[in-house]
Every structure is written in structure tokens, then in C-alpha cells.
Structure 1
Amino acid sequence: MRAIDTVNEVVGRVICVLAIVFAGIIIFDVIMRYAFNAPTRWAFDVSKQIYGFYFILLGGYALRHKAHVRVDLVTEALRPGLRRIVEAAGYVIFFFPFAYVFVTRSYSFASTSWAQKELTYGAVQLPVYPLKAALCVAAVLLLIQGVSEFLKLVLGTEETADGR
């Protein structure tokens, strides 16, 4: 569990740097467009792809830090032991089937894109297959973080994101 948590923590912290790159590209494009009347042809497409990497690869990190949307109306009133059982059942009934479909479909999606060397159709043709491969990596990261969270519930070791 600790190894899985560490992997998603490291990935999350590294990917967070992309927010700075993303903002920098947008600022650069705005300056070029309005200050110099010379808009870039590539900034919009590149920023979309960077945002895609940023958004999708943070799923496991968000799950680790309990940042996903949750409906706690039912579980909030339960005793801690019963709450853990209900949450563990939620992983079995909802999360793991979703994660299985996400992993298998994203792998198929990525492998097809990689085989075709798929490109964007925008002003600048960028490769799409790295982003689709990242989708598959993100699905695996989310799945393994789900396993870690499930095991914490089953074993009763509610560890916080900072290791306490």
C-alpha cells in the first residue's frame, strides 16, 4: 500500500508542474496575440494536450488525497466500522468494475492510436498517441490506488496522505 501511495504521490507532484507550463504557454500566447499582434499557431493545440496530461494523470493522486467527488450523505451518519464496510463495498460494486473497463478500453484506444501514429487535425498536427497512452497509464494508476484505498479500508489502516 505504501509503495502504491508513493508512486501516485510522486506522479502527482511531477505532473503538477505541468500547470506552470500550461499557464506559461497561455500567457505567452496572449502576449503575442495582443501586444505584438502575432498569434501563435501552436499554443492552443499544445496547451490542450498539456492540460489533457495534467487532468488525466492526476486521478490516482486525487484518489489518494480523497479529492474525488463523494456523496457522504449516507456514510456520514454511520459508525466508523460500518462506514468502512459500506465504502469497501462501494469499491467492489462500483470502482473496480469501472477501473477494469477504464484500463482495458484505454489500452485498446491507445494501442490503436499508437499503431496509426494518430495526429491532431488542428492548425499544427501534433501526435495524439502519447496522450492516449497517458490515458492508459492514468487508468492503471487509478486502479492501483483504488486497490491501496480498498486494502486500507479492509485492514483498518486509514493512513493519511502525509503518511500518518
Structure 2
Amino acid sequence: MESYIGFADRLSAWFGKVFAWSILIMTIGVTYEVIVRYLFRAPTPWAFDLSYMMYGTLFMMAGAYTLSRDGHVRGDFLYRLWRPRTQARVELVLYILFFFPGVIALVVTGWRYAARSWRYLEVSTMSPANIPIYQFKSVIAAAGILLFLQGVAQVFRAIICLRTGAWPPHAADVEETEKLLMETKSLAALEHGSEAVDIPSGYGAEDRKDGKRP
């Protein structure tokens, strides 16, 4: 199970980092559009299509990466108070009852949706440039497959936690700005021998029994 978790995390991270470049493409496209529209009075017919395609692709393909880093939003005002084994039991039930049925439906429906679009090489009816969108619709099924693979890894994490009483650590290659600022303030207080900086409980992995961020 641990080897599969490592494989799924690396796969999700690779796709997440590759498609993160969509932000740069979208930024360049929007910047170009603003320049030619307002300085040269020559708006493009494709900038809007490019922006929503890149944003949609990034949103979909980053889902598995975010899941592998335990970065999805969770209403955890009760969850954080439970012991790791209780958290694992609840997560296991929720993954089986809700996550996998939803993701399987996403893959099946997205595959049919994309296949129909590929058959007649669909273009956007809302675009004056007739931008092709059949390849864009393929992202739906691809994102669902990645989520399914990562979801299996999350189930394995829950099983390991049930056995050991501790969550396997999530890979962390990106830190939230808020967490970095709090750590910087804490370090500054220690260097000056002061306890003036009060860090609320709940910030930092050391305040959590399961090692997860709140």
C-alpha cells in the first residue's frame, strides 16, 4: 500500500505541476488582449476562449494533486478533535459512499461527452474564432481518472492509520503564505527572547495529533 501511495502522489504531483503552466499561458493571453484592445483598438477573437480553457483545465487537473497534499477545504471543526483512527474510519466511509461513486460518474459521463465531441471535432459556438473544444472536453475524463487513482491512495492511507494509529505523512512541496508568516514571526520572537508573538493553536503540524493542517 505504501508503494502505491508513493506512486499516486508522484503521478498527481507531475500532472499538477505540468498543468500549473496553464496559469502562465492564461496570463500571457489576457495581458496581450488588454494591450491590443486598449492601446491599439484591435481586440482578439480568441482571448476569452483561451482564458476559460486554461482556467478550467488547471482547476480540473489540479484536483488530484491537491488531494495528494491534503489541500482540499474541509469543514473540520469536529474532525480535528477526533483521534486519528476515528478520522480514518469516517474518511473511509465517506470515500466509499460518496467520493468513488461521484468520481466514477465523472469519468463515465466525461468520456461519453468527450467522445461525442471528438466525433465531429466540435468547435465553440460562442467564439467568433470557432476555437476547437473537443480536446478541452477530454480533460473531464482525464481529471476523473487521476482523482480515482489518488482516491485509492487516500483509502490506503486511512487503512494504514487504522492499523498504526497515525496518518502516513503527506508530501509537502508548497507552503501556505499564512503558515510561513506565522513561522517567521515565531522565529523572530525566539531570536529576541520574547514571547510577545502569540501563535493561535491550530497553526502548524505540531498542534495536530494527526499531523494534518487544520
Task: Give the alignment partner of residue 43 of structure 1, picking from 47, 50, 53.
Answer: 47
Partners of 1:99 and 1:143 within 8 A in 2? yes
Question: Matches of 2:14 and 2:135 in 1, distance apart?
Answer: 20
Question: CA shift at 1:39, angstroms?
Answer: 1.0
Q: Which residue of 2 aligns with 1:140?
A: 145
Deviations 1:26-75 (A, max 9, x none): 01100111111111111111222122211111111111122222121332
Question: Matches of 1:40 and 1:129 in 2, distance apart?
Answer: 21
Q: Percent identity?
A: 31
Matched, 1:126 2:131: yes
Deviates more, 1:142-151 or 1:62-71: 62-71
Q: Which residue of 2 aligns with 1:160?
A: 170
Deviations 1:80-107 (A, max 9, x none): 1111111111111111111111111111
The one-letter amino acid paired with 1:86 is V
Helix, strand or coil: the match of 1:63? helix
TM-score (norm 2): 0.72
Q: Which residue of 2 aligns with 1:93?
A: 97
Greater helix proportion: 1
Q: Which residue of 1 aligns with 2:33?
A: 29
Deviations 1:108-135 (A, max 9, x none): 1111111121110111111111111111
Question: Matches of 2:44 and 2:121 in 1, distance apart?
Answer: 25
What is the Cα-based RMSD across aligned positions, in Å? 1.4
Matched, 1:65 2:69: yes
Helix, strand or coil: the match of 2:131? coil
Deviations 1:120-153 (A, max 9, x none): 0111111111111111100100111111111111
The number of residues matched between the two structures is 163
Question: CA shift at 1:24, angstroms?
Answer: 0.9
Task: Give the alignment partner of residue 78 of structure 1, picking from 75, 82, 99.
Answer: 82
Segments ≥4 residues shifted beyond 3 Å:
none
Question: Matches of 1:116 and 1:65 in 2, distance apart?
Answer: 38
Question: Matches of 1:80 and 1:155 in 2, distance apart?
Answer: 11
Helix, strand or coil: the match of 2:103? helix
Question: CA shift at 1:162, angstroms?
Answer: 3.3
Higher relative contact order (CA 8 A, sep 6+): 1
TM-score (norm 1): 0.93
Residue ranges of structure 2 left out of the alignment (5+ in a row):
162-166, 174-214
